[in-house]
């Protein structure tokens, strides 16, 4: 697994928004970024969990976190615009957008896939990422060196039976990343990539593979060096790339 050594408080002065911050990888991202000096905006559906993470960050990194409860299944365009306006009032700029929120949906053949769950999975996994990106681009453009990281999956790069809406949503995320990256490449300093974490010891992984020994998968904290690198100045040339955490080496993604 990739290792990255950096200085204490190297994210000081940066503001990073993390979706799905109430659990798993998103929670670990929020805690890690705050520990390196970033202001973190915690987005998630479960306010009780968000408050617990806020309290933990407040003890270790006082004043570094704010909570924004959002239910992506029902959030409106107005809700996203209000979020953008609120962030603009509190912070001069947004330096990072980690689009990590997602639901598994059903593990079912397409023929028998519940239509309501299909629409919910696409709404939470894809449409919220589009709406957030659209609403927050003005905030990100205020930063001289912003990052957008979309969370992908191996089943979003090669289809797999019974992964249904989740797989399709991750294919869509890859397309959204590529489209946005090309649009922003010569018009802003925002760098956009997708990141496939691979199997990780989270509650979603447990739901997808209930018979699997969780100890065979890495903890979210083992992925953090890649996230930190992608937020660093060193990663500025990496743009529009579909990145795999397990195989990550900067030289493989830097321009030749």
**Does 238 map to a domain?**
yes
* Catalytic pick among 36, 166, 227, 253: 166
CB 10 within 8 A of CB 36: yes
At residue 119, φ and ψ (nearest 5 deg) are -65, -40
* Amino acid 255: pLDDT: 82
Q: DSSP H helical segments within 61-163, as ranges?
A: 77-90, 115-122, 128-140
CB 32 within 8 A of CB 57: no
**Does 9 map to a domain?**
no
* Amino acid 201: pLDDT: 57
* Amino acid 200: pLDDT: 58
**Does 60 map to a domain?**
yes
Q: What is the CATH number of the domain that holds 34?
A: 3.40.50.720
**Does 8 map to a domain?**
no
CB 14 within 8 A of CB 227: no
Tally the domains of the chain. 1
Q: In the annotation, is 253 catalytic?
A: no
Q: Residue 171 sits in which domain range?
A: 15-249
Which 8-state DSSP code applies to residue 153?
Answer: -
**Does 111 map to a domain?**
yes
**Does 182 map to a domain?**
yes
How do the pLDDT tens digits run along the chain, 256 residues long? 899 988 889 999 999 999 999 889 999 999 999 999 999 999 999 999 999 999 999 998 899 999 999 999 999 999 999 999 999 999 999 999 999 999 999 999 999 999 999 999 999 999 999 999 999 999 999 999 999 999 999 999 999 999 999 999 999 999 999 999 999 999 999 999 999 987 555 565 556 556 556 665 667 799 999 999 999 999 999 999 999 998 899 999 988 7
3-class secondary structure, 6: coil
* Amino acid 212: pLDDT: 55
Distance CA 44, CA 201 (A): 19
Distance CA 82, CA 79 (A): 5
Distance from CA of residue 44 to its chain's centroid? 12
**Does 147 map to a domain?**
yes
Residue 62 has which token pair? 């006082």
Distance from CA of residue 133 to its chain's centroid? 11
Neighbours of 232 (CB within 10 A): 16
How would you class 210 by CB atoms within 10 Å of its CB: exposed for 0-12, middle for 13-18, buried for 19 or more? exposed
**Does 153 map to a domain?**
yes
């Amino acid at each position: 697994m990739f290792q990255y050594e950096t200085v204490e408080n190297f994210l000081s002065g940066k503001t990073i928004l993390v979706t799905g911050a109430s659990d798993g990888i998103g929670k670990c991202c929020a805690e890690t970024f705050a520990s390196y000096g970033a202001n973190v905006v915690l987005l998630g559906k479960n306010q009780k969990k968000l408050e617990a993470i806020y309290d933990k960050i407040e003890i270790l990194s006082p004043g570094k976190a704010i909570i924004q409860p959002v239910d992506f299944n029902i959030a409106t365009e107005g809700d996203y615009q209000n979020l953008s306006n609120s962030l603009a009032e509190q912070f001069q700029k947004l330096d990072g957008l980690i689009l990590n929120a997602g639901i598994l949906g059903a593990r079912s053949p397409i023929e028998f896939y519940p239509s309501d769950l299909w629409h919910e999975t696409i709404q939470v996994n894809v449409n919220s990422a589009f709406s957030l990106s659209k609403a927050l681009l003005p905030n990100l453009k205020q930063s001289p060196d912003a990052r957008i990281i979309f969370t992908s999956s191996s089943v979003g790069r090669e289809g797999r039976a019974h992964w249904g809406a989740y797989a399709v949503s991750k294919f869509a995320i890859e397309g959204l990343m590529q489209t946005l990256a090309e649009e922003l490449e010569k018009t802003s300093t925002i760098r956009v990539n997708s990141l496939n974490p691979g199997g990780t010891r989270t509650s979603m992984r447990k739901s997808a593979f209930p018979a699997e020994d969780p100890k065979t998968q890495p903890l979210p904290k083992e992925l953090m060096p890649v996230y930190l690198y992608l937020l660093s100045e060193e990663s500025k040339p990496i743009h529009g790339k579909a990145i795999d955490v397990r195989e990550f080496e900067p030289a493989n993604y830097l321009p030749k």
